[in-house]
Amino acid sequence: MVLEIVSIAYLLLICLGFFLIPGRFRIYLLSIASLLYVIYLDLISGAVLLGMSLLVFAGGMGIQRLKELQKKHAAAILLGVLVVLTALAVFVQKTPLLIMFIGFSFYGFQAISYLADVYLDRIAPEKNPVKMFLYLAYFPKLVSGPIERKGDFDRALEKVKTLKFWELSRLKSALIYLVYGISLKMVIADRLLVFTSRIFGAYSDYESFTLILGALFYTVEIYCDFAGYSYMAFGISKLFGIDLNINFKTPYCASNITEFWRNWHISLSSFLRDYIYIPLGGNRKGFGRKLIFVGIVFVTCGVWHDYGLNFLVWGLLHAVYSMIDNILARFGIEWLRKGIIGRILTFVSVAFAWIFFNSASLSDALEYIGHMFTCGIDPAYFSAGFLATRKDIIEFLLSIVLIVAVLVFDRLSYRDKDIFPSIISRKSVLTFCVCFFAMLFAIAVIGIYGPDYDSANFIYMQF
Amino acid sequence: MKKVIIVIVTTSIFVLALIAAKIMLQPKTNDGIMQSRCLYDQPGDSIDVAFLGSSHVHCDVNTAFLWENYGIAGYDYSAAEQPLWITYFYIKELLKTQSPEVIVLDTYAPVRYKDDYQYRWLNDNLCGINMSINKLRMLEASCEMKEWTNYCPSFVNYHTRFRELGMKDLKALFEKSSERAAFKGFTPYYRCVPQQKPVDCVPAGEGITPKSEKYLIMIIDLCEEENIPLVLMATPYCYTAEDLSGFEDISAIAETSGVPFINFNNHVDEAGIDYETDFYDWSHLNYGGSIKFTAFLADILEENYELPDRRQDSKWDSWNIHAERIASGLSYDPE
């Protein structure tokens, strides 16, 4: 959901209706709520989503029917046509010639995974068109994912009919995920955006120190923005008893790039693994081909995000990182893939690649990097530009404190092999309440909202 | 049971922390916020003359002088560039706790500003008003629907002040109601900037807008319903030909409604206003000018209305404190 007062009011209304109506109607309520939500965002996107769900519904039934008639080749062709058309639509709608449809990148991939899973007999085709629509359009995850699998989603829906409002552990979990997500987004990500938008928007005016700081700030910003949204989606969905998949698990604590991609945008990376990497052959066709398949996966990942050479290069960079990591692992060079060295190398590599992600174009990214390495380090220049007033100094210091806080929380969570909101939801009532109210207080007082700030929408909404 | 107690205690601490944050963070400017906030600390039914309108009121109407020399319990319930639609709801807010003998309304803002939604000083007009249905109606009249969430609750607007907190904000946590009660809205400006006396000119332009006219009539009707005499006025300033058109409209409406309208720009000589010494800027009188103007205004009010002399009544002690502060220069400094 987009973070607005209207959205919050809408969510409360849906919750009220959800727990007042009989359980068997709840799925229909959520479907109507999702449809109204997407129409509110954009009427045409609503129409496209409806059309897409009908197409996928019919496609799944068609594939199953052809298989039952022993026409496996026809089923494969139908699958292929639908998958190719959907994939093309996902990528083509990002080109400047066309209008992007809200959430299409996410539910487009969901549609592909559903059709493939039906063909591979992993799941039965959906016989209820409303449930099909809900799977694609479910409003907490519509705008920025996660990319759910139909089987997982169906299992999550099983509890909906009999769900009672007052289940303390569920409500605690929902609230802490929601508040933590909002904190990451509104307190940290949007705060850092104030710096990164200035730095990336006028990089030729700055020297190396400022540009390095800009890249580091953006590294934390995109994580807090995207992970914040994902936690919010998880928390909102938890209110309805539907457990979405966790999309981020302390990715910046990873010791190598392979581990990073196991913990960053997990739903996308697992989709690419299951529906591109493994079907191509995975690691079953020799090491050389494995590296090629890894490259294809990351190039796909890059162009999935957006149209532009800078995104292609971002994907290529991660392809190179992954290939190098695979080679290091194959030859047992573990000291570069573990411990503090591994973590630093991984973090710096990822931060460097984000420069391409956040730049307006490839040439901008290359110029940014060029300036970063050639303009000389002059912190006084940064002070003059960003620490001119008392307000600026306070904002900067606060940003540093918050960055340290989120990295420390993640580090502690990584040590416990868990994520921060999950740990807090299981703690004592006192710890839970202190953390919950502290975050709520931070959102209220230092959150980035109000007429002084533009409504900084989620970075990943544009994808 | 223990868990319930923990939840109640932590929730209470959170609420108290938010309240403390609200008190510290809320702006304390004298362009309308303190004027509207300190109204709630005035003793009930203590204001005999309420002055409403723009900053011309809280700069020009010297409530300390009014008290010391006439015993009139006046209150400058005004805010910068306050449009009439806000003034209407200000009067409604005032009447929740006060029963003034007279309401005096300055008409500079409707004459000068023609937009149906004015955002430049909207915060100063709204921030000091307590949340209520009246405030929501004020908000609805003052800004477009898409802006509502930027102004209500007011906390949305001023929470960013955490970056500029000072001792004044910390002291506000411990400020007593009696301290705020001693503020009567008057904000003296001491600087002197000589001005050119406006030359005679022919009215030009379109006069007041339909929205201003609508709310002026609503104000007149409201005062009539509440049986409170209303006086329309224009304080001395460097007016333009366009302003004169507006004053013509105000005058016509006033005449139709049987409400007096005094344009003090036509009486500057009688009042002894000197454009060389009595102005802070082209729009506001300075402290010296406010004394002359207030004396002239007070004579007119005393001549036409029965206004009690409250100087011996202890209920009105806060006006004594107010007058002492203004006399010693210890008042809320203009920011």
pLDDT at residue number A98: 64
**Cβ contact A429–B163 (<8 Å):** no
| Sign for the pseudo-dihedral over CA of B93, B97, B102, B104 | negative
Over residues A305-326, the pLDDT tens digits come to 887 899 999 999 999 999 999 9
Low-confidence ranges of chain B (pLDDT < 70): 330-335
Residue A459 in this model has a pLDDT that exceeds 70: no
CA separation, residue B165 to residues A186, A379, B23 (Å): 21, 27, 11
The pLDDT assigned to B333 comes to 44
CB < 8 Å to A441, chain B: 14, 17-18, 21
Q: How many CB atoms lie within 10 A of CB B178?
A: 11
- Give this prediction's pTM: 0.88
Nearest-neighbour CA in chain A from B20: distance (Å)? 11
The reply to whether B120 touches chain A by the CB within 8 Å rule is: no
CA distances from A394 to A211, A272, A390, A397, B165 (A): 20, 42, 6, 5, 11
Strands B74-78 and B102-106, how do they pair? unpaired
Residue A153 has pLDDT above 70, yes or no: yes
Sheet of B102-106: strand order equals: B74-78, B49-53, B102-106, B230-234, B261-263
End-to-end CA distance of chain B: 51
Of B17, B147, B149, the CB nearest to A441: B17
Q: Which among B6, B7, B150 has CB closest to A451?
A: B150
Q: How far is A440 from chain B (nearest CA, A)?
A: 9
Q: Which residues of A touch B154 (CB under 8 A)?
A: none
Instruction: Give the number of C-alpha atoms closer than 13 A to the C-alpha of residue A244, restricted to the C-beta side.
Output: 31
Measured between CA atoms, the residue of chain A closest to residue B164 is A391
CB B271 within 8 A of CB B292: yes
Contact B160 A450 (CB under 8 A): yes
Q: Do A449 and B156 touch (CB under 8 A)?
A: yes
Which of B250, B323, B204 has the alpha carbon at shortest distance from B53? B250
- Mean pLDDT for A338-345 is 95
Q: Give yes or no for a contact between B47 and B38, defined as CB atoms under 8 angstroms apart.
A: no
- Model pLDDT, residue A307: 79
Closest to A34 (Cα-Cα) out of A51, A5, A12, A11: A11
Asked if the Cβ–Cβ distance from A395 to B163 is below 8 Å, we say yes
> Within an 8 Å CB–CB cutoff, is residue B20 touching chain A?
no
Q: What is the pLDDT of residue B51?
A: 98
Q: Which residue in chain B has the smallest CA separation from A187?
A: B160
Tokens of A78: 């139908």
Q: Which residue has the higher pLDDT, B219 or A283?
A: B219
Residues with Cβ < 8 Å from B244, sequence gap 6 or more? B201, B202, B203, B204
Q: Report CA torsion sign: B29, B30, B36, B42.
A: positive
pLDDT at A3: 56
pLDDT digits 0-9 by tens, A1-19: 445 677 888 999 999 999 9
Q: What is the least distance, in Å, from the CA of A446 to any CA of chain B?
A: 7
Instruction: Give the per-residue pLDDT at A96.
Output: 67
Q: What is the pLDDT of residue A220?
A: 97
Using the Cβ of B17 and the Cβ atoms of chain A, whether some distance falls under 8 Å is answered with yes
For A65-100, the pLDDT digits (tens) are 988 888 888 888 888 888 888 888 887 777 766 667
pLDDT one-digit tens code per residue, A165-214: 999 899 999 999 999 999 999 999 999 999 999 999 999 888 899 999 99
CA gap A50, A34 in Å, rounded: 11
Q: What mean pLDDT is reported for chain A?
A: 90
pLDDT one-digit tens code per residue, A355-386: 999 999 999 999 999 999 988 888 887 888 88
ipTM: 0.85
Q: A433–B7: do the CB atoms touch at under 8 Å?
A: yes
What integer is the mean pLDDT of A243-267?
96
- B146 class by beta-carbon count within 10 Å (0-12 exposed, 13-18 middle, 19+ buried): exposed
Q: How many whole angstroms separate alpha carbon A1 and alpha carbon A34?
A: 10
Closest partner residue to A5 among B149, B159, B163, by Cβ? B149
Q: Please name which of B19, B125, B21 lies closest in space to residue B81, comparing C-alpha atoms.
A: B125
CB contacts of B6 in chain A (<8 Å) are 429-430, 433
pLDDT of residue B27: 93
- Binary contact (B10, A437; C-beta < 8 A): yes
State how far the Cα of A274 lies from the Cα of A114, in Å rounded to an integer. Answer: 12
Binding-face residues of B in 25-44 toward A, CB within 8 A: 25
**CB-based burial label for B255 (10 Å; 0-12, 13-18, 19+):** exposed
* Residues in contact with A428: Cβ distance below 8 Å, sequence separation at least 6, in sequence order: none
CA A262/CA A364 separation, integer angstroms: 30
Smallest Cβ distance to A451: which of B13, B25, B157? B157
